[in-house]
Amino acid sequence: MTDPSDSPTVREPLPGSGELDAVIMGERRRLLNVAYRLLGSLAEAEDAVQEAYTRWYSLSAEQQIGVVSPGAWLSTVTSRICLNVLRSARARRESYVGEWIPEPLPDTAPADRRLVPPTTDPADQITLDESVNMPLLVVLESMTPAERVAFILHDVFGYPFAEIAQIVGRTPGACRQLATSARRRVKASTRAPTSPSRDEAEIVREFKQAWQAKDVERLIGLLAPDAVATADGGGRVTTFTEPIIGGDQVAAAWAALADRATPDQALLERTVNGRPGLVAVRAGTVRTVFAFDVVGDRIQHIWVVANPAKLRPWQ
């Protein structure tokens, strides 16, 4: 495989290379999907993909022609970049103010595709599926960078361990063990599934109504006894810095939030990372995104993302 650092000088696409450029740019959405799952941040994912393209267009014509599969080349380079970002992020997040929660994603696809704005680029949209739900993204944060890369690339995107080995610099057997370890973490953090008698969106809607009514008893009834609420303000906005543990405590905290709500604040039901959630909007700007983990008929975890830097996709 061609070394992406062989030629550091960025050049413009070659004349007559339009067909190859179309193939290359056609990989963007897949690369962005991989990078977001690896990093848990859309901004960092976009930077990683952009860096991979920069390296591609830094190659000479001969080097590009020598790449058997440009898509595989871009995937490898993007994954390596993400691995390096993950390694450096561990140190950065130690100094992060409060809890660090993955960046939430909105559902940008309306039911009627004719309503998609002309400026919407499908290549910039993340596919919302079970691999981007907030509970899983949070578990991924507990993994080592190598575990996370091996698990996402193999279990989510079907990469063979031989290719993953080239990315993380280990043997295929070691990568298989990394993925196995990651699966254990996911399994250990996942509660036994139960059959809910109500739709998840209905439960979140009832939570919203009880919250707005400051109905503490009803809130408690919707929360699991050991429910947890975690907030991420990034030190840029006021929010609770330590997790709130216990359904009673979470209900009391949300009733207090209702007391502080301003008349111009709207609480809207929105899809957050592919699941029902809530969004607080004030003066036309999304101020907070609430993601929920519903187990059975009770809310097990609420993630509150208020850091403005993580709300860019919602504006």
**Looking at 103, 126, 157, which one is the last position of a domain?**
103
pLDDT band, very low/low/confident/very high, at 273 (cuts 50, 70, 90) = very high
99-113, 121-135, 180-194, 264-278: the lowest-pLDDT one: 99-113
Range name among 78-92, 148-162, 300-314 with the lowest pLDDT average? 78-92
Let me know if residue 175 belongs to a domain. no
- Where among 50, 82, 103 does a domain terminate? 103
Maximum average pLDDT range among 105-109, 238-242, 247-251: 247-251
* Burial call 147-159: b when 16+ CB within 10 Å, e when fewer: bbbbbbbbebeeb
Under 8 Å between Cβ of 264 and 283: yes
State percent of the chain over pLDDT 70: 88
Burial class of residue 211 in the structure, from the number of CB atoms within 10 Å of its CB (0-12 exposed, 13-18 middle, 19+ buried): buried
Q: Which of 12-16, 49-53, 73-77, 178-182 has the lowest mean pLDDT?
A: 12-16
User: Could you tell me if residue 60 is inside a domain?
Assistant: yes
Residue 218 lies in a domain: yes
Instruction: Give the CATH number of the domain where residue 241 resides.
Output: 3.10.450.50
Residue 97, phi then psi, degrees to nearest 5 = -80, 115
**Token pair listed for 260:** 């502080």
The range of the structural domain enclosing residue 18 comes to 1-103
Give the pLDDT confidence of 189-241 residue by residue, as tens digits. Answer: 887 655 555 799 999 999 999 999 999 999 999 999 999 999 999 999 989 98
Nearest to 32 by CA among 122, 130, 125, 103: 125
- Structural domains in the chain (count): 2
**Does the residue 233 lie in any domain?**
yes
3-state secondary structure of 16: coil
C-alpha distances (whole Å) from 278 to each of 79, 104, 207, 222 are: 32, 11, 10, 15
In the predicted structure, residue 6 carries a pLDDT above the cut 60: no
Q: What is the DSSP letter of 222?
A: H
Residue 19 confidence (pLDDT) above 70 = yes
Please choose, from the candidates 154, 214, 205, 206, the residue with its C-alpha nearest in 3D space to the C-alpha of residue 178.
Answer: 154
pLDDT of 87 over the 80 cut: yes
181 within a domain of the structure (yes/no): no
According to the model, what pLDDT value does residue 194 have? 58
Average pLDDT of span 251-270? 94
Specify if 299 maps to a domain: yes
Q: Can you give the pLDDT at residue 10? A: 36
Residue where one domain finishes, among candidates 35, 69, 103:
103
| Of residues 197 and 22, more confidently modeled | 22
Q: Is residue 20 part of a domain?
A: yes
Average of per-residue pLDDT values in the chain:
88
At 119, list the tokens.
């400026």
Is the predicted pLDDT of residue 66 greater than 60, yes or no? yes
Neighbours of 299 (CB within 10 A): 24
Which of the four pLDDT bands, split at 50, 70 and 90, describes residue 16?
very low
CA distance between the termini of the chain: 40
Alpha carbons 12 and 18: distance in angstroms, whole number: 12
pLDDT of res. 117: 42
Q: Is residue 217 in a domain?
A: yes
- Average pLDDT in the 72-78 region? 97
- Evaluate whether 246 touches 227 at the Cβ level (below 8 Å): yes
